Amino acid sequence: MQETHVTLTGRPVISATGLFTPPDSITNEELVASFNAFVDRHNAANPDAEPLTYSSAEFIEKASGIKARHVMSKAPILDPDVMGPRLPERRNDELSVMAEIGVASARQALDRAGRSPADVDAVLCAASNMQRPYPAMAIEIQQALGIEGFGFDMNVACSSATFGIQTAADYIRAGNARSVLVVSPEITSGHLNWRDRDSHFIFGDVATAVLVEDAAIAPVQHWEILGTKLKTVFSNNIRNNFGFLNRAAPETAGTPDKLFVQEGRKVFKEVVPMVAQMILDEATRLGIDPEGLRRLWLHQANAGMNRLISHKVLGHEASEDESPTVLDTYGNTSSAGSIIAFHQHNQDLAPGDTGLICSFGAGYSAGTVFVRKVA
Ligand code: COA
């Protein structure tokens, strides 16, 4: 760090955020046309089996609020013979694809904060899937940005980013770091089963970055972190059994449970009350009137879930201004969703306004980050 003379406060703030959006996007109509072509081919090839059923763009939008999703590898996903991303393996001396998109979002956050990479102490790569077990994605991102200090990976599924923010905030609170990057590259298209009618429409790819810093070194415009809270409750209702031990059981290596599987209805029913209560309890602990929250940047999994949670928190039906949606164009981007919403919808708020970044998902896991705009 260059500002060695600065007296640290131990108070964590969000100095800036960054976003990388893959240029290619798939509309519901394109997705369903490809899925239905797969269904036709499958049924023609398996006349004696229980026939597969068509998907519907209308159902997808109504059930989830999703109209399109960005992806890193569009053509193979839409090819009924492939139905999955195809990202050519890179040599070990090339930047890996997860690191590449993470770096793009991190650079934007650093630029927005006017922060030099040399002044960052740590990088957390917080995402629902890592491209490899080691070396950590975070260390590759750290090296690509020219950051000294340390980095490590964290995986808490859809809550990875908020868990990362609390971890970064705790480093600031403890005085162990002054500036921490939380990077969430989410190539969710790689774990989605594009042949599963119940879930093929859910996910999209993206990368986000959040720069968490000590208030003493933050840029004039920043968000004070008023409090963070994390919660986990074990559930099998969202699960992905892919892992390095699968090769020890090769007979099950290609089965659908090695991709994302869920009981969507149960998730909906169980997670909504859990998260709403968690938000209300945490607001009480922090002495914040939930009805006075200016904006909720909620996890982006399902528009209906967000409608119910925001209603319970605010005491009335939330407007798009109070609880903005990015689901329609991004789909569910796992841990990055609430950060995209925050990134795209915070500039218009006034100094003193309070809001909530909140994630929830597999584990179950949930995280809240209450913030107040400063300047
Ligand atoms: N196209 C057309 N119809 C479909 C369909 C598709 N792609 N997928 C399911 N359906 C049908 C079902 O067959 C069912 O028909 P039936 O009533 O005749 O049996 C009907 O639609 C309802 O299916 P269901 O799975 O109960 O839908 P849903 O309303 O619960 O919506 C989700 C599904 C996944 C969008 C919703 O449950 C959800 O978002 N849950 C929360 C998920 C979540 O947050 N997960 C975390 C991920 S990290």
Peptide bond into 364 cis (omega under 30): yes
Catalytic residue among 16, 122, 158, 207: 158
* Model pLDDT, residue 196: 97
Q: pLDDT digits over 82-106, tens only?
A: 999 999 999 999 999 999 999 999 9
CA distance 108 to 189: 23
**Which of 6 and 224 is assigned the larger pLDDT?**
224
Closest-CA residue to 356 (of 320, 313, 319): 313
User: Is the per-residue pLDDT at 197 higher than 90?
Assistant: yes
Active site residue 158: yes
Over residues 190-205, the mean pLDDT reads: 97
Mean pLDDT for the chain? 96
Residue with CA nearest ligand 1 atom 1 = 55
4 pLDDT tier (thresholds 50, 70, 90)? low
**Do 15 and 212 form a contact (C-beta atoms < 8 A)?**
yes
251 pLDDT tier (thresholds 50, 70, 90)? confident
Gap between the terminal Cα atoms of the chain: 24
Ligand 1 atom closest to Cα of 271?
A: 44
* Model pLDDT, residue 188: 98
* Model pLDDT, residue 358: 98
Assigned CATH for 223-374: 3.40.47.10
* Model pLDDT, residue 347: 96
User: Is the per-residue pLDDT at 290 higher than 80?
Assistant: yes
User: Is the per-residue pLDDT at 265 higher than 60?
Assistant: yes
DSSP character for 195? T
Over residues 234-262, the mean pLDDT reads: 91
As a whole number of Å, the CA-based R_g of the chain is 21
Q: pLDDT digits over 311-322, tens only?
A: 999 999 999 999
CA distance 30 to 201: 11
* Model pLDDT, residue 369: 98
User: Is the per-residue pLDDT at 3 higher than 60?
Assistant: no
Instruction: Count each helix (H run) and each strand (E run) in the chain, helices first.
Output: 10, 13
22 pLDDT tier (thresholds 50, 70, 90)? very high
Structure tokens at 196: 């599963």
> Candidates 194, 269, 302, 330: which one to mutate for ligand 1, based on the most atoms within 8 Å of Cβ?
302
Over residues 9-29, the mean pLDDT reads: 98
Percentage, residues of the chain above pLDDT 90: 95
User: Is the per-residue pLDDT at 161 higher than 70?
Assistant: yes
Q: What is the pTM of this model?
A: 0.97
Structure tokens at 6: 């600065």
Over residues 239-257, the mean pLDDT reads: 88
Residue with tokens 């998109």: 101
Cross-strand bridge partners of residue 124: 152, 182
Answer whether 268 contacts ligand 1 (Cβ < 6 A).
yes
* Model pLDDT, residue 174: 98
Structure tokens at 363: 């584990």
CA distance 241 to 193: 13
Domain boundaries, the chain: 223-374
